[in-house]
A = this chain, B = another copy of it.
Amino acid sequence: MTRRVALLAHEGLPDRAKTAVGVLRYADAEVVAVVDREIAEADPDARVTDYVPEVPDAPIVGRVADAPDFDALVIGVAPIGGGFDESWRPDVRIALEAGADVVAGLHYFLADDEEFAALAAEHGGELRDVRRPPDDLTVAEGRARDLDAEIVLTVGTDCSTGKMTTTRELYEAARERGVDAAFVPTGQTGIIIEDWGIPIDRTVSDFTASAVERMCVERADHDYLFVEGQGSLIHPAYSAVTTGLLHGAMPDSLVMCHDAGREAIHGYESFEIPNPGYVAEMYESLAEPIAPTEVVAGALNTSGLDGETATEATKRYRAQLDAPVADPIRDGAERLLEAVL
């Protein structure tokens, strides 16, 4: 994508609009506006950089109708369950009526929506559902451990702990050093950024490991593969996906992502997050009989913490993991990359 994009992020910016933030940070696109009615209502002059640091700036508007011209509307929020929020319908409608494409990573496929399909056909826009997996997937062969490429997988103590960001920052830092690296996206944001990839959480469960195996095999001519993790081994809903990734990618090393402020699974508050060191051991134990690996570094999400608190949290996380720790956004990814290479 080297085109003009509007990002739909109602009630999402910054923390509940992972896809919007990912596109702002990493995509090869010009973001003309972020659409968040909550923010725009409170402050009509709001700018993206008030909410997301160190990205190209853009206005925040209340509805798509108020955005400058764009080529594609990207749905930048992913509610739990991946449904389509009917309150977004007028915005999508206006984008399609203007002839723009609409890109989404929802479980609900926009192309299957009769109104949207008709509008796209009428005005020449494309409905691109990146969460639709290829239909020729089959079962894994157990091949990834035999690939020459060094495979690095991010794992986490929960969803939304920064796995996509960490993977992407590691990949970009490696490339800057001249390392022959590839990014293997497994979720909607990464796939939208990379314009390639399989949405691992949407595959048939028998084929989850196979989907990541296939991507690693396709990129095996690189020296390093940075595989975007999903979910968490201790998540009551998403642990299946995480396990399929771990056993399908057969990584040489793991980087474990944790949110400094998080004490329970997001949205499942009765499920406590145990000591991250214990969670790291769980990942290593589960990998052991299939392809042994190790948590070699920890990525700590300290967004929202002041400097001193962040430093303390980093120190604590380092002790828990007994491995190098950094916040890839606050501190950069260099220290993590050192541990991986």
In the complex where A236-B290, A268-B142, A282-B285 touch, is A206 in contact with B244 (Cβ < 8 A)? no
Nearest to A236 among chain B residues (CB) is: B142
Give Cα A247 to B286, complex, Å.
Answer: 15
Most buried by B among A138, A140, A234, A238: A238
Give Cα A210 to B201, complex, Å.
Answer: 13
Which single member of B139, B141, B240 contacts A244 (CB below 8 Å)? B240
A270 at the interface (CB under 8 A from B): yes
A290 adjacent to B201 (CB under 8 Å): no
A165 at the interface (CB under 8 A from B): no
How many A residues touch B, CB cutoff 8 Å? 46
B274 adjacent to A241 (CB under 8 Å): no
B205 adjacent to A241 (CB under 8 Å): yes
Add 12 more A-B contacts to A208-B240, A236-B248, A239-B247 (CB < 8 A).
Answer: A204-B204, A205-B205, A205-B208, A206-B238, A206-B241, A209-B236, A209-B238, A234-B290, A237-B247, A239-B290, A240-B243, A271-B289
Jot down 27 A-B pairs with beta carbons below 8 A, ordered by A.
A81-B139, A82-B206, A107-B204, A139-B238, A140-B237, A141-B237, A200-B205, A201-B206, A202-B205, A202-B206, A203-B204, A204-B205, A205-B241, A206-B237, A208-B240, A209-B237, A210-B237, A236-B247, A237-B247, A240-B243, A240-B244, A273-B289, A274-B289, A279-B289, A282-B285, A282-B286, A285-B285
